Each structure stands twice: as C-alpha cells, then as structure tokens.
Structure 1
Amino acid sequence: MEGTGKNEYSGNTHNRMPTALFTAEQSQRLDHLAIKSGIDGFTLMRRAGTFAFQQLCRKWPELLAQNAHIQCFCGAGNNGGDGYIVAALAKQQGLTVSVVYLKDPATLKNEAAQAYAFCCKQNVAIHPFDETTPITGDILVDAMLGTGLTGPVRGNYQTAIHAINGAQRPVLAIDIPSGLSADTGAVLGCAIAATATITFIGIKQGLLTGAGTEQTGQLFFDDLSIPDTIYQQVTENSTRLGDAAMAKRIHPRVRNSHKGTYGTAVLMGGNHGMAGAIIMAAEAAMACGTGKVYAATRPEHLIALLARRPEVMTIPISQDFDQLSSVVQQASALVIGPGLGMDKWAKRLLQFAINQPQPLIMDADALNLLSENPDGLLQRSAPTVVTPHPGEADRLLNVSTSTIQKNRFHAVTSIAQKFKAITVLKGAGSLISDGQHTWLCSAGNPGMAVAGMGDILSGVIGSLLAQGFSAIDAACLGVWLHSTAADHLSQQQGEIGMMATELIPLIRQQLNTMSSDY
C-alpha cells in the first residue's frame, strides 16, 4: 500500500457531475469492465478511499482543526473496504480515527481484506459493533452497506443506522447511504441520513429521486479515472437533465418573424372558484414566448383574467363550445387541467380536448378524470404529455401513493406505456419518461411544495409545445426551467413562503439568457 498518501490521487476536484445515471447492476458492470481492462481492483478501491478522505477534509476543516474524532463504520465487501482506506489515510495524516466493524474482518476477501490489512498496519483502533457501542465520533463515516442491498436492513446494521442517525453528527456516506436502494431511491427499512455522499464510477439513479434526495445530502462524484471506452460499453437507462444540454434547445428569435411564428396555445380550465389556476398557467405560457395564448374558462373569470393579464385572449365556456371549437382550429398546442374540477362541465371539456388533433398537455383534475376512463387517450395520434404528482399517479395506475414512491422509475415508465404519453412524475427528483428512457431533473427544492406550481409547469410545457418543440423536449425543458427558476428564487429569498407566480419572471429571464448565449 505504499504511496497511499494524501496527494496520490486528485480525483474530481471540481465535482463535475455527469448526466448518465446507472442502476446498481450497471455500476457493478462498469467496475468489472474496468478491472477486466487492466485496472487493478485494489487500485480502484484506493482511489475511492482517497477521494472520500479528501472530500471529508474539504467538507469539515474546522472540525478537523479542533482534533475531531473520525469514526468509520465498516461493513463487508468493497463498501467496507473503502471505509478502511479512509480510516488508514486519516491515521497517516495524524488525525484521531477509529473503526467500528459490522462484519468480522476475518471473513473479508480480496480487495476488502487488503484494505483491512492496510488499516491495521496504520495501527487504527478497530472494534466490533454491538447494541452497546457508543457513537463517539465528531464525524461519522458510513461504509456499511453498498449498492448491492435489495432487501430490508436487519440486525446490527439496522441498530447501527438508528444509532448514527440519532447521534445527529455530520455523516459522510461512501458510494450510497446504507439502507437506500441504488435503483429506486426507496428506503429499505431504514437508511442513513447523510450530510454528504461520495459516489463512484457511476451516479446511482436512486440518489437523486424520492427519499434519495433526503438521505443523500450533498452529492460528490468521482469516476476513479476510468476511461471513456469503459462507459461506452454500458448504456444507461436514465439521464440527468444537465444545464448544457438544456441550453442547446433554446434558439434566439428570428428577426423576420411574427406572432404566428411562435405558435398558439389554448389553455382550458378554471372551474367555479378556481380562476387562479388557469390565470397562472396562461401567464406562464405568455412569459415563455408563445405568440398567442387563449384561456378558455368559466365566464365569471374573464374580468379577473383580463385585469391580471390583458395580453391573454379569453374564451367564455358555459354550455356552448362553438367559439372554443373555432379558436382551437388555429391552435398549435392545447393545455387542459388547471382548475378544471370534476363536474359535468369538466368532463365535457376534457373529452373535447382529447378529441382534438393538436399536441395536448394534461394536468391536475384532467388526470383524475382520465383515471376514471383509462382508455380515453388511446385513440389520440397527436403527442400527449401528462404531468401527475404521486397522488395522481397512484390513481392512474390504481396503486397506492407509497407504491409509486417506492419505485418512481417504474411508475413513470408504466404510466408512459399505459397511456402512450410522455409522462412527468413530479416530486423531489422529477422524472420524465417516453416509455423507453427516463430523464431526471435534480434541480428543485421544498419551497415548490405550494399550490399553483403545477399550473405554472403546465403553462410552460404548453408554451414550448405550441412553439414547435417535440413533446419530450418540451417536457424536459419545461421541468428544468421550472425547477431551476425555483432554485434561483430560493437562493434569493429562501424556500419558506415561495409563491408559484414568483417563478414566472425568472423562467422568462432564463430563456432569454440561454437564447442570447446560443
């Protein structure tokens, strides 16, 4: 182990995050291919442990300057081996460190056994874990359970996780928080609530959606210097929406253009008492650059809509759809759902929208009504985008919300395939699927958990559809614009008290900034 010093491996010092996301099986395949190509397995472990230790030092320099005690909890396999490397490097640097093991080191094999031997050589204090083991560390390192976990956490691992979480100390998780599913982001009985997570070789898709967003904390990544030729041999099932890829989709305006160049969107909704939803959606559509925006709503809402946004053209809908039919003929995209309701008026309006030949986005009560007639979309030939939150998704699939959240990747794919529609499954780590591939938006924050956010998103995606974006591009770009605008707002004013309409000028600003950079 000579040369395993602080400066041996520099790693991803700028924490550049790739867009490819991998399952546990795909990550293991990348690891095996790297070893097969000639990279020694222990070299990979040494790099992983070195990068993890470096990030620990960067993350908590004040604590380390005060002689903080680093307590590493090590399990079996490569995850435990990484933890032993971290402990050994800390000891080499003169830091106070100890190891608590949950798997008898005598049973360790291959690289993990080598890592344990190196740790012993550095005279690190190593003790077994039991229910009486005290949490004495000022910084805790979780190297207990890796990406291979598929069933509920049990025994001493469960006890250790509860003890670590209860200690309320800074926690660095190696590769993945113990107890979290790498594939789904679900908590498998219990899971470490990490302050930061260091993941290697490939970003595990479960880290960035559902419960994974809560358990992971700040995410760091290092590819361990695996060459691109290895990555080219494994095709990912999901992709993170990246800033560069999204920016490429925005083009500057054509100088010789007119309002017809940028499409016509017709938004339908706003039942009794729900004028705000259709107003917000229409305003968002205008801010995203649609040439003409119509709002078809209950007659009593027209005054409020015109007072708020006179640029939006209005269509009163009571019993007669003649005026709406005339306008829809010139539309390039339709939106239905914001404030729609569930009454007879809503059902008639939904059926009207489904029967039209234009691209259609469906949200809110349009999805609840669709769940009552799941075959309603099958006759459509034009693209459809549906944007359920988990509560709406459970009705579309006739399962519980908890089932949706336990495997969001499966849920979004299932909805897309069942309804032949581009599907946006909203929530922490929103997912977009065409039924074959899934895109994940890692932007967004808890401040978005307020009424009206879905209405804004509907207007944004509807606007992009109206301007000629493909359904999948409109959905991906719309979700990304919506989420990153919320992040900008939270940085300026905080998450508490965020209001949906505050996103609209920020989304417009983003579009113009990206278009000027094209």
Structure 2
Amino acid sequence: MRIGTSISTKKLDDACINEYKIPLILMMENAVLSAIKHLDINLYNNYIVVSGVGNNGGDGLGIARQLKARGKEVKVFIVGNIEKITPCSKTNLEILKAMNIPYIIIDTKDENINLLKKLEADIKNSHVLVDCIFGTGLEREIKGIFKDVINVINENKNLVYSIDVPSGINATTGEILGSCIKADKTISFEFYKRGFLKYETKKYVGNVVVEHIGIPEDILKKYDDNEYITSMNFVKDNIKDKNKFSFKSDFGKITIFAGSKGFSGAAFIASEAAIKSGSGLVTLVCDEDIQDIISSKLSEGMTANYKEEDRINKLIKTSNAIGFGCGMGDNETTLERLQYVLNNSDCPVVIDADGLNVLKNNISILKKYKNRIIITPHLGEMSRLTGKSISYIKGNRLDVAKEFAKENNIIVLLKGYETIITDGKVTYINPTGNSAMANGGMGDCLLGMITSFVSQGIEVFEAVICAVYIHGYIGDILSKKMYTVNATHIIEKIPSIMKKFNIEINL
C-alpha cells in the first residue's frame, strides 16, 4: 500500500488529466463508486451527506446520488460559498436537482443558526453521516461556519465516514487545522495519507481503508514517494522457502552478542528467537558468569564467552549475520566490543539496546563499516542518538528516521506503534503489533528474528521488514485471547506462523 501526500495526490490528478486525458469528472465518479462499497449500505438506511464546494464536495454529491439510487434515505447539506463551487461538483449538483434530491446550502455569507439546528436534528435522526467538506488540499485553519458545522457533527454524530481525509486534517503533516471531524471510518483514495501516521491523528481517522479509483499503474509509479505500508503478501513473497532438499547450512550461521550479569534473560530471548525463526546455527557470545545459566536453557544453540578469543574471531569471520547489544550494559567495554565486531566482520550487523546506547557520542562509527548496519531504537534511544527530543521525534518520526538512515548509510527501524523501517530512500510502515506486547524482552526477541532472517539469505532490507511484520502479526493473534503477550509467547509461535506462511508460498 502506497503512502502519499497532498502534493503527490495533486500530481496524480494533474497527470491523469493532462497526460492520459482522463476527465476529472470520470475520476470523481470512480471515487464515488469506490466509496459506496465501504458505506455499509447493507446495515443502514438513513444517511446525511455534508459536502463542501470543492472537488471533495463533488464526491459527496455523487455519493448522495448513488445512495438514493440504492433506495436509501438521503439528506444533503452543502457548506460554503455556492458561487465558488467547482465545475465537477456543479455537474453533480445539477444531477442531484434533476433527481429531485433535496439539499440545503449553509452559506458562508448568511446567518445560519437555524440551519445549524436543522443539521443537528437531522444528524440525530440519521444512521450515518458522510463527511465530504474538505479534501487533501486543505492547509488553512478552519474558521467560521465550517468550524461551526464540524462542531455540530462531532457533538451529535452516530457514525461518521470521511471521504479521502477527515475534514480538518492536513493530509501531509497530520496537523489538525483548528477543528476536525472525528471519523469512525476514513475511505481514502489511492494512498494511505502520510498525515495519518502521526499519533495525534488516530482519534480522528478511525478505521482507514484505501481504495483505487482507476489511476494507471505507471502514473502511480511515476509519482511514487517510495513510502509504503507492509502487506502480508510482501512478507510471503520474501521469506525463504524450506524445501525437502534444504540443509542447515542453507539457513545461515549467526552470532549474537548479548547479556551480562543480571541480564541473562535478554541473551536467552534473542538467541532463542533466532533459533525458532529458522537459522541453521546460532551461537551466543556472553559474559562467562552467565554462560552456564544460558547453556542450560539454550538446548539448540551454542554459547561462547569473551575469554575464547580465537573462537570469537572465527565466529565473527564466518557469520552470515550478527546481532549485538541486548542486556550488555551501557559502558566502555560494550563500546569496545561493538567496535571490534564492526571492524572484523564481513556480514550485516543488527544493533539494539546497549549497542545503541554506547553509540550516542560515537555516531561516526556507523559510517566506517563496509557492510550493512541495522539499528533498532525505540523513541528514547533515537533521542539519544540524534540529540532531538522525544516529543519532536514523536511528531516527525518518519522524517527523523529517514534523515538518520540516509546520513549514516544504515537501515533504521524506529520502534513504536506503526514501526518505521527505512534505508533513507525507501520506507515501510509496519501495520502489525499492539500494546499487549509493550513489555520487556520484545526488543530482544525482534533482534533475534531480524538477525535470523538476514542470515537466511533474505535481502537485508526485506529481512527487517518481514521480521517486524511477523513479530507483530504473532502478537496480534495472541492478544485476541491474552491481556499481556510476552516475548516467550512470541517465540513459541514463530515456527507455526512461519510454517503457515511457508505453506501458503507453495500453494
């Protein structure tokens, strides 16, 4: 699923009209028919359509016509200076008149107290309100009659379905422009709007569905911003098939540097997750004083301690992927070990937790490494790495992650709701995972999964995307029956979920 902005939306419209000679009225009708599929007309009979005078308003007028044609009760309110109605919207208005569908104009020039009361009463007596006041082009603050109408809707609504964007959101930035419709569902066209990714918009957009309206694929590719939401099909297309001729050597050899006194759990979780994710050989390197503890639990993995220098050197040189950082401690020793691993390895390295903490004043290390580096920070770790406040990163997650990845030539996995994965050029937003997973050990589990997927020969960027998706996917399944989902719960389910995906690959 592509992510787009108001700019990319405008470019698409212009290209369709000017390059492909597709009339705007035809695209509007495609939008209308696409939206109708998501208005739950099998459940509800009474609809209010509130339209503006721009092209988004034209979508609303077309939707009112289609609802009426399907036998629904429809009342239409048009908000704004009717003299400024766009040509396509005017065409749909003329059709509305010809069909004798009643409508009320709430004009910016008039005193509209009685009309607002009429709107309030009709909303209370309806099942669904369809919001088509403003579209993706809105950038100014909402004031006057528009604000009054939005307030009436929010205060009296039953269900609100917004078309393309809830009226009042900046589609690009997610900024709430003074006042905004609180939608239960948003039916967006061609793109998942970038502004919807901002945490503050979640209470306004509701459930988001994205519909195609017949724009040719080569135009979509031409104006693609290289920002996507991960789909299950993407994951299935990229995870490695296990066929009957496979050997353990076909699924990678990995080394994980993790754990210290008091933090043996982090080391175990990361290693066990890598094993369960399908790596051929997994070795944990840890402090000597926790090695016996881990060895007794890690039945299918091997362990080494830092005194075994020759063995560690061989592991570093022969690994297909390395995971580093979980539970190691934020200290000079961890930094020295990270530098040693980076300077002597020839494979991708995944850095998490204390591996990130020791980088906060040593970012230049990242640029010196000749192979791929993946970092997996949460907001606090990203704040320490970038020097930016957590509140700033929250409001600008996508841009902060992209800039840091590009500047340091690495892959950034910025954790949180709708985790971001980017190499600075291409960005994926992960749709899986939930708050039941918000507890210690989840990051250790994810590090093990990512390191495993990389070692198995999946392209590095794709491996990260797939691991994050499956990690959250398992959490979503478990959270349906569990209040809290722990890392060990995820690990137990990895083999069965991977098998499910693997079977579907071969169908």
TM-score, scaled to structure 2: 0.86
Q: Return the offset for 1:295.
A: 1.9
- 2:58 equivalent in structure 1: 81
- 1:46 equivalent in structure 2: 29
Tell whether 2:10 aligns with 1:22: no
Measured in 2, the distance between the counterparts of 1:265 and 1:55 equals 47
Quickly say closer, same or farther: Cα 1:159–1:323, change in 2 above 3 A: farther
> For residues 269-326 of structure 1, what are the alpha-carbon distances to aligned partners after superposition, in whole Å with 9 as ceiling and x for unaligned?
2234332222211111001111221222334433442343322222334x88665344
Tell whether 2:423 aligns with 1:446: no
- 1:336 is aligned with what amino acid? F
Match of 1:498 among 475, 478, 485: 485
Measured in 2, the distance between the counterparts of 1:411 and 1:206 equals 15
Q: Return the offset for 1:197.
A: 1.4
Q: Return the offset for 1:335.
A: 0.9
Tell whether 2:82 aligns with 1:95: no
Q: Return the offset for 1:463.
A: 0.7
SS in 2 for 1:182: coil
The worse-fitting range, judged by mean Cα deviation, of 380-389 and 496-505 is: 496-505
Measured in 1, the distance between the counterparts of 2:225 and 2:162 equals 23
Q: How does 1:248-327 map to 2 (within 5 A)?
A: 248-253=237-242, 255=244, 257-317=246-306, 324-327=312-315
Match of 2:473 among 474, 478, 484: 484
- 2:133 is aligned with what amino acid? M
Quickly say closer, same or farther: Cα 1:251–1:462, change in 2 above 3 A: closer
- 1:41 is aligned with what amino acid? L
- 1:124 equivalent in structure 2: 102
Q: Return the offset for 1:92.
A: 4.5
Quickly say closer, same or farther: Cα 1:193–1:364, change in 2 above 3 A: farther
Q: How does 1:152-167 map to 2 (within 5 A)?
A: 153-158=142-147, 160-167=149-156
Measured in 2, the distance between the counterparts of 1:375 and 1:250 equals 33
Q: Return the offset for 1:353.
A: 3.0
Q: How does 1:326-475 map to 2 (within 5 A)?
A: 326-357=314-345, 358-475=347-464
Q: Return the offset for 1:373.
A: 1.6
- 2:14 equivalent in structure 1: 32
Measured in 2, the distance between the counterparts of 1:155 and 1:312 equals 67
Quickly say closer, same or farther: Cα 1:325–1:236, change in 2 above 3 A: same
Tell whether 2:500 aligns with 1:513: yes
Measured in 2, the distance between the counterparts of 1:83 and 1:254 equals 52
Match of 1:57 among 32, 40, 44: 40
Measured in 2, the distance between the counterparts of 1:500 and 1:209 equals 27
Count residues with an aligned counterpart: 491
SS in 2 for 1:71: strand
Q: Does structure 2 retain, via aligned residues, the 8 Å contact 1:184–1:408?
A: no
Quickly say closer, same or farther: Cα 1:485–1:116, change in 2 above 3 A: same
Q: Does structure 2 retain, via aligned residues, the 8 Å contact 1:337–1:365?
A: yes
Q: Does structure 2 retain, via aligned residues, the 8 Å contact 1:210–1:427?
A: no
Q: Return the offset for 1:362.
A: 1.0
- 2:167 equivalent in structure 1: 178
Measured in 1, the distance between the counterparts of 2:128 and 2:447 equals 44
- 1:115 equivalent in structure 2: 92
Computed over aligned residues only, the root mean square deviation of the Cα atoms, in angstroms, reads 2.9
Quickly say closer, same or farther: Cα 1:90–1:390, change in 2 above 3 A: same
SS in 2 for 1:432: strand
Q: Return the offset for 1:196.
A: 1.4
For structure 1, the 5+ residue unaligned runs are 1-18
Measured in 2, the distance between the counterparts of 1:336 and 1:283 equals 14
- 1:369 is aligned with what amino acid? V
Q: Return the offset for 1:103.
A: 1.9
SS in 2 for 1:370: coil
Measured in 1, the distance between the counterparts of 2:308 and 2:150 equals 62
Measured in 2, the distance between the counterparts of 1:467 and 1:295 equals 17
Q: Return the offset for 1:102.
A: 3.6
Q: Does structure 1 retain, via aligned residues, the 8 Å contact 2:35–2:211?
A: no
Q: Does structure 2 retain, via aligned residues, the 8 Å contact 1:445–1:487?
A: yes
Quickly say closer, same or farther: Cα 1:383–1:190, change in 2 above 3 A: farther
SS in 1 for 2:364: coil
The worse-fitting range, judged by mean Cα deviation, of 146-155 and 277-286 is: 146-155
Quickly say closer, same or farther: Cα 1:378–1:86, change in 2 above 3 A: same
- 1:4 equivalent in structure 2: none
Q: Return the offset for 1:450.
A: 2.8
Measured in 1, the distance between the counterparts of 2:147 and 2:361 equals 42
- 1:423 is aligned with what amino acid? V
The worse-fitting range, judged by mean Cα deviation, of 418-427 and 241-250 is: 241-250
Identity %: 28
The worse-fitting range, judged by mean Cα deviation, of 116-125 and 142-151 is: 116-125
